[in-house]
Amino acid sequence: MPGSWTPGRTLRGSERPRAAGRDDESSDMSSTPAVLQATDVHAGYGGPPVLDGVSLTLRPGDAVGLLGRSGVGKSTLVEILGGHQRPWQGQVTLDGVNVSKPPLRQKKAIKARLRTVHQNGLAGIDAQRTVEKTIQDAFTEARKAGRSTNNDVEAALGVVGLPVRFVTRTVQSLSGGERQRVAIARALAAKPDLLLLDEPLTAVDQAMREEVAADVRALVRADGIGLLVASHDVRLLDRLTDTVLVLAEGRIVESGPLGDLLRAPQHEDTRALVEALPDAVAGRLR
Ligand SMILES: Nc1ncnc2c1ncn2[C@@H]1O[C@H](COP(=O)(O)OP(=O)(O)OP(=O)(O)O)[C@@H](O)[C@H]1O
């Protein structure tokens, strides 16, 4: 299907998917059940479509980046994948259940398995609550959904580089970057199967961003959580993901390991993103 992507396959500047030299792996992967499946998603806001036929599959253990120029529709896609916004056409399912209108009895399970950290890191968080309560709420929610958690607030904060003294602070009192990190800690504390991060560390300085990204990646890998990260920061995608999808013109126009995309970008948007990188960064990532 044009614009579709599954792990082990790649789109390189062409509308047609083709194998990425990992056919043996992709056939293995296709034998495991699909987890999050977006099929021919079209969406927008009344004008021309923002998404014009996006299909992708995300499974536990995947680490996928969603790269694209500002305003191309990354957040729109994340919101739709997380079930927070309905597509005009097409659908997103989690093990066959439509995430944007799950049956009432499956709502909690879907929420527990699939977490989103929105671009506005505070969405869904009570800013008046303390950091400790915010993380504990995630443990409680997860337990109610039948998932086991370690109930260790200090460890949850440690993954995002926040010291334990933050526990008594209200979320409201934190800096933008600290709030973003609490939002990630809260999502990870809930032990989801899949985690969607939308521009997760924009308010955090570059050195801390890379450090937190490395720790989050290690935890996600250890727990087998499937990760999708939308960002135009290729350095962040390098730290967090194995494969990157490029979104342009409402579709996934190319995909592959970040180094390959940087070495030989096929789409003009990918080329523009690469050209905007400082030489030293581009050289290191290629
Ligand atoms: N609520 C809305 N009403 C109307 N247009 C919207 C709305 N939300 C987003 N858009 C438009 O849809 C397009 C895609 O927006 P989106 O936020 O998904 O892009 P993005 O790739 O995440 O951008 P950025 O990297 O700047 O965050 C943009 O042109 C945006 O102006």
Please work out, in degrees rounded to the nearest 5, the angle formed at the alpha carbon of residue 23 by the alpha carbons of 226 and 268. Answer: 70
The model's pTM is 0.88
Ligand 1 and 247: CB distance under 6 A: no
User: Which residues are CB-contacts of 131 (< 8 A; sequence separation ≥ 6)?
Assistant: 157, 162, 166, 167, 168, 169, 170, 171, 174, 182
Ligand 1 and 59: CB distance under 6 A: no
User: CA-to-CA distance for 105 and 258, rounded, in angstroms?
Assistant: 40
6 band by pLDDT with thresholds 50, 70 and 90: low
User: CA-to-CA distance for 274 and 192, rounded, in angstroms?
Assistant: 33
CA dist 4 to 53, 193, 251, 268, 279, Å?
A: 8, 22, 8, 19, 32
User: CA-to-CA distance for 68 and 244, rounded, in angstroms?
Assistant: 10
Of 51, 69, 74, best ligand 1 pocket probe by most atoms within 8 Å of the beta carbon: 74
Q: Of the candidates 60, 26, 33, 19, which has an alpha carbon nearest to the alpha carbon of residue 228?
A: 60
- Would the pLDDT of 221 be above 60? yes
pLDDT tens digits, one per residue of 223-233 = 899 999 999 88
* Nearest residue (CA) to ligand 1, atom 25: 70
CATH of the structural domain 4-285, one choice from 3.40.50.620, 3.40.50.300, 3.90.1520.10, 3.40.250.10: 3.40.50.300
